[in-house]
Amino acid sequence: MTDIVRIATDKRRSRAVVYNGIVFVGGQTADDRSQDIRGQTRQTLAKIEKFLAEAGTDKSRLLTAQIWLKDIRNDFAGMNEIWDAWTAPDAAPTRATAQCEMAAQDVLVEIIVTAAFG
């Protein structure tokens, strides 16, 4: 049986879960929500990178990503600028991006990723 490892768990959720060679990083958002889409995307990706490292992997092992934007029409290009600079060369994951209503008005982007362990 493979153990389930939970990272940064509270009453409601774990920030990351490792199981059977796969790392699942739950939806991450920026801490400083006064930033524009570029700033919020940078912060969000930094948090994701931290949780990947805690789980024993990195962004070169990404398998898939889901990105939610508050305003896809106005923020898609800015988010992509930061995303493209952040992803590991020749290691782009599958990806979906959509617009949705966010849980808080000042959240512009939320990202969830799945990566291979190791």
> Cβ(116)–Cβ(63) under 8 Å?
yes
* CATH number belonging to the domain at 5-116, selected among 3.30.565.10, 3.40.50.300, 3.30.1370.30, 3.30.1330.40: 3.30.1330.40
User: pLDDT tens digits for 11-66?
Assistant: 999 999 999 999 999 999 999 999 999 999 999 999 999 999 999 999 999 999 99
- Whether the pTM exceeds 0.85: the reply is yes
Domain ranges of the chain: 5-116
> Cβ(95)–Cβ(58) under 8 Å?
no
